[in-house]
Chains A and B, each alone.
Chain A
């Protein structure tokens, strides 16, 4: 009797139902509601009394595009994505290559050290970096001074605040992609290298002609994950700079948070969220297209 497919199907529904209901109610539902919310003027008055809610159609979006802070936030976010993202990936790839060198000893230990920042609490390490980046008493300026570089007001100078956050982000994140790259390098057949060696290729040529092409799919995957992740920059400026100096570390998500949960303009915050979503989607699609054109995958 238990063999009947009916029982199996029923069990199937019962097993997926709790998770599906939770995801629909707490994820898909709110995401859809946010889309509707972005066409309303939901603000602190509507929060107090829902009868104050009006449909304003595209007003939130047009106001957003007319807001100079949005363009600053967009510029800051794109700077973080397109400068911080590639730098993080370059650090990951370099570390992976170093850790797959035969001559390097204690690989497992070193890999653990390199990976440690990834699992640490973002807010806690951001606080640590805030002090390390201190102009006068911070170790970063102290170290730079030893090689003849004058102190930089990292978190106080509008030109340096975002680069400082990038330095922190590279330190915090490079271990993650490093592990993926190490696995990918490990799966490259060693006879490819032997053949290149016999052909007289230098280590650099071997890297360009064997390692890099073989890593194509991993690099694509890692770049999509890293860049879409970097679009969501929030905690670092919240903790390290509070969006300053001169709004140079206000990001799109930071703006969403302030609009939504500081000023309670939940309608306009939802519009910000959808603009962010659209940008991330476009980014993913473009990278997918590039991959197709280059024949990766």
Chain B
């Protein structure tokens, strides 16, 4: 009885594994098919003779390297911005005493209930006034600082013993030295987590880039993919190659740094 139950559970789990993995596997195999091959019945699982045609078409015909480059630049810059602004603020909110600190932090937390899209119309107008539409800077603005990032760094900074910081002060280190020489090394794991979240968030982001990057040359991969999919409805192979190029970098990054990702996910979910 127990054995039968265990067998059933395992069968069910592996069926689910198959169903969940299938769309991603199909995306990969279809990207190696010849043009038009996927549109046949019954739908083919594997390419008859694998080809890089679709990838070639993406680079030669659609200049996907431009969008890839845009996505990389934006994700890297967003990560650097987030790692500087949020980490300084998160540490200060946890460990430095100053007047109005808690009030300020509570105001920040109130931002969590406001959906990001609410401010998009005025933000667009603001950036348009400063000529930042279709620029990297315009696309990066929402990534400079985030309440979630500040919150996460604050939570992990609180675990640093006050005596350690005090001892550094007694030794004559100034606040900036304490931050760079003592705090940053102690926060390394959470910095990896925050960096990873920001990179993935920026890479996968769609609505804001769609709004602010309207010029074909400034598209990110998701925006370019959405536009391409409207123009190339019939070209499943081409679109799947585009999807592979878009998904693969973040999927690999996640696989390598999975441990850090889960830590952030669970830290974020405790906050409520």
Contacts and interface: CB of A to CB of B under 8 A. Distances in A.
A260 B123 CA distance: 12
A112 B20 contact: no
A34 B9 contact: no
Given A113-B21, A183-B266, A15 B121 contact: no
B243 A2 contact: no
Given A127-B243, A269-B121, A18 B145 contact: yes
A122 B223 CA distance: 11
Interface residues of B, number: 99
Interface in B85-118: 85-86, 88-89, 91-93, 96-99, 101, 104, 108, 111, 113-118
Nearest to B100: A13
Given A16-B89, A116-B24, A125 B265 contact: no
Contacts, number: 280
Given A8-B175, A121-B221, A121-B246, A128 B117 contact: no
Interface string A243-265: 00000000001001100110000
A132 B176 contact: no
B261 interface: yes
A214 to B, nearest CB: 16
Given A3-B170, A103-B9, A232 B115 contact: yes
Contact of B123 (A26, A142, A269): A26
B23 A125 contact: yes
B97 A124 contact: no
B142 A124 contact: no
B225 A124 contact: yes
Most buried by A among B21, B93, B117: B117
B41 to A, nearest CB: 6
Contact of B104 (A16, A222, A231): A16
Given A8-B97, A103-B9, A119-B254, A232 B175 contact: no
Contact of A132 (B16, B23, B123): B23
B169 A3 contact: yes
Given A123-B223, A137-B39, A180-B269, 6 more contacts: A15-B179, A110-B13, A120-B251, A124-B222, A179-B265, A270-B122
List the 9 closest pairs (A to B, CB-CB), nearest first. A30-B119, A11-B175, A103-B6, A12-B98, A12-B96, A15-B92, A33-B122, A19-B89, A19-B145
Interface of A: 2-3, 5, 7-13, 15-16, 18-20, 22-23, 26-31, 33-34, 37, 42, 47, 95, 98-99, 101, 103-105, 110, 112-114, 116-117, 119-125, 127-132, 136-139, 142, 171, 176, 179-180, 183, 218, 221-222, 225, 228, 231-232, 234-235, 238-239, 242, 253, 256-257, 260-261, 266, 269-270, 273-274, 276-277, 280-281, 284
